[in-house]
Amino acid sequence: MSMRQRLFEIIFRSWIHPRIMRAWSQADINEFNRKELKIPCPYCGSGRSDFVYRWVIDHPDHFGLFDNDAKRISLIYGRTLRRVLPEKTYLEYTERALNSLRGLSHVDYRRCASCDLVFQNFPHDTGSKEFYYREVYRIRHNRKDQELGANLYGRGDERWVYQQKLIGKYFLEVTRLKRPAQILDVGCGEGLVVRYFEDKGIDAFGLEPSEPMANYAKYRLRLRNIVCGPYASDVYPENFFEGIVTHHVVEHVVDIKGFFSALARHLKPSGYLLLQTPCMDNLKSKEDRDKILSGGHLYVYSEKFLKDALAAFNFEILECRKTPCDFSKLEPSYQDLWDTSTWGDDPCGISILGRKR
């Protein structure tokens, strides 16, 4: 161990670690669990729900979801330290700080007896979630671009890149949309689906709440129509898009009704929606449960819930397909590379193609 590493270890153990532990002990989730509180269904308001699963919060990226104190979250994630520490030292700090909190808290999933929504038994706050996804989401993986002076994060592994192209390819094939159609990707990440649409001559737009990922789309992929921020009804004009794609995003939003309302507002009549998300109906084993009921998923949806909710917001369902968690059980003609379905969804997911009435 080098002198620098020894010094870091001493400082972390004697000063940083105690401060982090004290801060996390005051986080909202711990107070909520101490009081053994239960919340009504965030969608329909029903007080009738059943326990589904207790998820121990052990993923370093998810602590910020369970606290609404930006100052405390910044301390735990070391946001201010990034400005003064060398990159290597900062990454060591975040790894040590976040890993030290693994397994100290939990959140329960419950299933509404009225609308069938599966939700985290915790009163998530829209403002704090916007802060989390904008500022600290996957902060350990963000990298500072010295030339731009901005943090960037983009996934470039072969499977991910291929899957994103597959989503775009599938959507254009089933909808037959082409120039001059305008298509939006809600939760576009680093912008790979948007780039695919642009390459096909589509006037493509992307919205992404994570600033480093939006930066990647804008500066690395040089995409024109990228908005960084939360998705809401006032972001785009009414009846603006012929198509909207949203891949594994709706499980992360706080305001479900607001999300569906925005989709309906922004689509033109007869416009197409492709919505993909983990599906509760796919849960067959403990291994499936750990994939579907993950702490970053504020909600998990059944086919029944999604069909009812989309119908309530004036969508007709054209196609509904599920990708089982055990990919070998999917019909071979629907299997694509890297355990990806031909419609571009992950194992354990549901893919719904709808059209606005």
Query: Which DSSP string corresponds to 158-202?
Result: HHHHHHHHHHHHHHHHHH---TT-EEEEET-TTSHHHHHHHHTT-
pTM for the model? 0.94
Q: Quick check: is 48 in a domain?
A: no
Q: Are 341 and 312 in the same domain?
A: yes
Q: Are 164 and 242 in the same domain?
A: yes
Q: Are 231 and 207 in contact (CB under 8 A)?
A: yes
Rounded distance between C-alpha atoms, residue 103 and residue 69, angstroms:
20
Q: Are 137 and 206 in the same domain?
A: no
- Distance from CA of residue 103 to its chain's centroid? 21
Provide the CATH number for the domain around residue 202: 3.40.50.150
Q: b/e per residue, 294-317, with b = 16+ CB within 10 A?
A: ebebbbbbbbebbbebbeebebee
Q: Are 226 and 250 in the same domain?
A: yes
The helix or strand, by DSSP H or E, that contains position 143, with its residue range, turns out to be strand 143-145
Q: Quick check: is 195 in a domain?
A: yes
**What number of CA atoms fall less than 13 Å from residue 110's CA on the CB side?**
23
Closest to 190 in 3D by CA, of 146, 174, 163:
163
Q: Domain range holding 91?
A: 3-37+58-104+124-152
Q: Are 215 and 306 in the same domain?
A: yes
Q: Quick check: is 341 in a domain?
A: yes
Query: Which DSSP string corresponds to 44-70?
Result: T--S-EEEEEEEE---GGGGGGG---H
Q: Quick check: is 114 in a domain?
A: no
Q: Are 201 and 76 in the same domain?
A: no
**pLDDT per residue of the chain (357 residues) written in tens, 0 to 9:** 577 677 777 777 888 889 999 999 999 999 999 999 999 999 999 999 999 999 999 888 889 999 989 889 888 888 877 777 787 778 888 888 888 999 999 999 999 999 999 999 999 999 999 999 998 888 888 888 888 888 899 998 999 999 999 999 999 999 999 999 999 999 999 999 999 999 999 999 999 999 999 999 999 999 999 999 999 999 999 999 999 999 999 999 999 999 999 999 999 999 999 999 999 999 999 889 988 998 899 999 999 999 999 999 999 999 999 999 999 999 999 999 999 999 999 999 999 999 999
Q: Are 97 and 200 in the same domain?
A: no
Q: Are 321 and 176 in the same domain?
A: yes
Q: Are 232 and 327 in the same domain?
A: yes
Q: Are 89 and 197 in the same domain?
A: no
Q: Quick check: is 182 in a domain?
A: yes
Q: Are 45 and 117 in contact (CB under 8 A)?
A: no
Q: Quick check: is 49 in a domain?
A: no
Q: Are 281 and 264 in the same domain?
A: yes
